[in-house]
Amino acid sequence: MATPLTADQLLKALRDEGLTVVEHPGWRTNNRNHKGPWGPTHGVMIHHTVTSGTAASVNLCFNGHSALPGPLCHGVIAKDGTVHLVGNGRANHAGSGDDDVLQAVIAEKALPPDNEANTDGNRYFYGFEAVNLGDGKDPWPAEQLLAIERAAAAVCRAHSWGAGSVIGHSEWQPGKIDPRGFTMASMRSRIGKRLGAKPAPPAAVKPAPKPTYEPFPGAAFFKVGRNSPVITAMGKRLVAEGCGRYSVGPGPKWSNADKNSYAAWQRKCGYSGVAADGIPGKASWDRLKVPNV
């Protein structure tokens, strides 16, 4: 039994466990506390969304639908392992379940069969919805499974719980099948191993590689018959700059369309007259920044 984590405590616990967390606007005050009590908390429940796409799944879990108002969980775990926080407090995720299961979770003992629905689970469990169709075919990427492990472990660590405090929806409420595609026994094993170790440090953020560009090949390069991927790359940049004058292409072979397009770029750069003849010069080429091919 534990006092529910505050929004700041939950956010810190997840990030301290090495997770990438996105705060959905309004999540801190999004709850169903006006419909019933929130807490004391006893465990973490894992679900699958039966949806695809991160944005749509997050919006659904935040807002809910006509038959079930949101939030539908506390966090949505995307395929890439990002956790999107959508609720803080009582959430419509667990529904009614078996009181014998609840007692087993509190004692962190083997779970009995869930054959009753006589206890309000929304009061007692944190809920994480993982984006998955739940059809047994939709894959569970390694990043997503690791995030489920980390998210559950983070909450358990914050409350000094063990892995026995983590259950699946199918273990709580009769008739439910989620999460489908991995076993909760295997997930609890992973969580247990994690809780036996220090929190994982946040993943190192690698700086984006510095872009490199094609050096100016010289004006003589741009002549009838020249065939080169550099010309294709140049044409794509001209199109991106709004200077493309291609009916088809751009392609690798130097053409009048390339010349006309480059002349448009020269004029955009402020050149006029013979200085905007469509033949690249070093100054305008360097400004165009054609990526290396």
Tell me the mean pLDDT per 10 residues along the chain, length 293. Answer: 93 97 96 97 98 96 95 98 98 98 96 96 98 96 98 97 97 97 96 80 61 94 94 95 92 96 97 96 96 89
Domain shared by 83 and 152, yes or no: yes
Q: How high is the pLDDT of residue 78?
A: 97
Full residue range of the structural domain in which residue 268 is found: 219-288
Tell me, yes or no, whether 24 lies in a domain.
yes
Domain shared by 51 and 117, yes or no: yes
- Digit-coded pLDDT (tens) for 27-81: 999 999 999 999 999 999 999 999 999 999 999 999 999 999 999 999 999 999 9
Q: Residue 54 belongs to a domain with what CATH number?
A: 3.40.80.10
Domain shared by 154 and 27, yes or no: yes
Domain shared by 63 and 171, yes or no: yes
Last residue of a domain, one of 195, 229, 260: 195
Tell me, yes or no, whether 262 lies in a domain.
yes
Tell me, yes or no, whether 174 lies in a domain.
yes
Domain shared by 128 and 255, yes or no: no
Domain shared by 154 and 251, yes or no: no
Q: How many domains does the chain have?
A: 2
Give the CA-trace dihedral at 79, 93, 123, 75, to 10 degrees. Answer: 20
Backbone torsion region of residue 273, taken as left when φ is above 0, otherwise alpha when ψ lies between -120 and 50, otherwise beta:
left
Domain shared by 165 and 245, yes or no: no
Domain shared by 23 and 99, yes or no: yes
pTM over 0.75: no
